[in-house]
Amino acid sequence: MKPSIPLSRPDVGDLEVQYVMDVLRSGMLSLGPSVPKFETQFASFIGRRHAVAVNSGTSALHLCVRALGIGPDDEVITSSFSFVASTNCILYERAVPVFLDIEPDSFNLSPEQIYRFLSQRCEHNSSGHCINKDTGRRVKAILPVHVFGMPCDMDAIERLAQDYGLSVIEDACEALGAEYRGRRAGTFGDAACFAFYPNKQMTTGEGGMIVTDDDAFAEACRSMRNQGRNSASEWLDHARLGFNYRLSDIHAALGSAQLQHIESLLEKRQSAAASYDERLQGVRGLITPRRIHGSKRSWFVYVVQVPSKNGSDIRDSVLRSLRSAGIGCQAYFPAIHRQPYMKGQFIAPFGALKETEIASDACLAIPFFSTIDAAQITAVCHALKQALQDASRDEHSTARIAVSRG
């Protein structure tokens, strides 16, 4: 059944249609002027020297990993509480993800855990590189993810990266427009990645962007997205191993149109979130998104927590009720380290990822998009409260049966 209130929905209007039509009529559907135009606008919106457009956020992350020379037998510190792409990009290059736990309030990679790992396990070799004493492998980078649009503690992460000589790739795919201590997400680290799938704050259908201040890094990414061609040389001159990760002009034009009204797209999401906050504050058995001092979240998704005594029992029951009421929702994120294909592919130096698993069991994304209206929000809240009541009644009766049987 198609949900009557979807989980997400893009906000595309006449300007988008006009820009895309202009490209279609121009005859230049790829490698035309729309891509560099979109890149220039995007770089200026974020506040970085370069923006390199690619065909997905995943491609953006992959090219950053390659541009930093991360390869087999390198380790990258990251979070298991994320969308799989932020870990897959490490595996593509046969490097090893080092999963450290998150902070329960922000859901972001914990700087304390990074400090604990680096101070206990890192040994500097003769070249000054950080070597993990347990594995003998080099720790090369930190890949923080701004989960649900909430910026990570970037001051702490950048300081640790500097102290231990590590690179930083920001996964800002969920954080377009977010700010950390007055600075835009995407302006930290060696490079940052954005994504434009239709559920994101702005869309190109499919698409992604790398932003960096480093000229050589940007040039390497431009070359790698286009089969390793040198920008200065002949069409079929391949300087390195590359990919076809190009964004078409059709997609780029859509992106340019979305960027024209990005402030309003972000404001609409912000006010939808405020509306949910107001209606869901204090509901029993529910935790609404937390505020973090010094950070401005960009609202990507509206994720509530439904804690259960046993794993994800209650959350899953609420999820089923909402879906059968025609309301789109998702257990978001399922922890990456629990995906069957990840077995043996990562290390978790401190064992269990406790906070990651708690979040993974409790988190529930409910319908959220810039055009969601008051009636839809009311309907979602009503169904959610009902589902919570039903689930807790069921839990109590199950507990009674267990007691009487015991």
Ligand X SMILES: *Cc1c(COP(=O)(O)O)cnc(C)c1O
Smallest separation, CB 298 to ligand X (Å): 12
| Look-up of token digits 């922000």 | 106
| Interaction of residue 171 with ligand X, rule CB under 6 A | yes
Which stretches does DSSP call E strand in 216-306? 295-296, 302-305
Decide whether 85 or 252 has the Cβ nearer to ligand X: 85
**Is residue 247 part of the contact set for ligand X (CB under 6 A)?**
no
Instruction: Tell me which of 145, 178, 327, 391 binds ligand X, using CB under 6 A.
Output: 145
Residue 8 contacts ligand X per CB under 6 A: no
**Beta partners for 74?**
138
Report in angstroms how near the CB of residue 405 gets to ligand X at its nearest. Answer: 44
CB of 308 to ligand X, least distance (A): 25
| 58 lines the binding site for ligand X (CB under 6 A) | yes
Q: 72: Cβ–Cβ under 8 A, 6 or more apart, which residues?
A: 93, 94, 95
C-alpha distances (whole Å) from 35 to each of 39, 157, 366 are 6, 32, 34
Among 197, 217, 276, 299, binds ligand X (CB under 6 A): 197
Structural contact between residues 305 and 363, judged by C-beta atoms closer than 8 angstroms: yes
* 302-329-266 Cα angle (round to 5): 30
Q: What angle do CA 212, 218, 221 make, to 5 degrees?
A: 120
Comparing C-alpha atoms, which of 257, 247, 394 is closest to residue 315? 394
Residue-by-residue DSSP string for 370-385? TT--HHHHHHHHHHHH
57 belongs to the binding site for ligand X (CB under 6 A): yes
Residue among 63, 76, 77, 85 that touches ligand X (CB under 6 A):
85
Supply the Cα-derived Rg of the chain in whole angstroms.
22
8 Å CB contact between 80 and 107: no
Classify each residue of 125-139 as buried b or exposed e, where b means 16 or more C-beta atoms within 10 Å of its C-beta.
eeeebbbbeeeebbb
Minimal distance, residue 333 CB to ligand X, in Å? 8
We find the least distance from the C-beta atom of residue 171 to ligand X, in angstroms, to be: 5
- Shortest Cβ distance from residue 197 to ligand X (Å)? 4
Nearer to ligand X, 321 or 356 (CB): 356
Is position 56 an interface residue for ligand X (rule: CB under 6 A)? yes
Choice from 195, 250, 266, 327 touching ligand X (CB under 6 A)? 195
Among 8, 86, 201, 308, binds ligand X (CB under 6 A): 86
- Of 288, 272, 278, the closest CA to residue 364 belongs to 288
**Does 82 contact ligand X by CB under 6 A?**
yes
| Sites for ligand X among residues 210-239 (CB under 6 A) | none
In the complex, least distance from residue 394 CB atom to ligand X, rounded to whole angstroms: 32
Decide: helix, strand or coil at residue 130.
strand
Report, in Å, the least distance between residue 301 CB and ligand X: 9
Instruction: Verify binding: residue 173, ligand X, rule CB under 6 A.
Output: yes
Cα separation, 233 vs 390, in Å, equals 66
**Does residue 143 belong to the site contacting ligand X (CB under 6 A)?**
no
Judged by CB, which is closer to ligand X: 64, or 166? 64
Residues forming the site for ligand X (CB under 6 A): 56-58, 82-83, 85-86, 145, 171, 173-174, 195, 197, 208
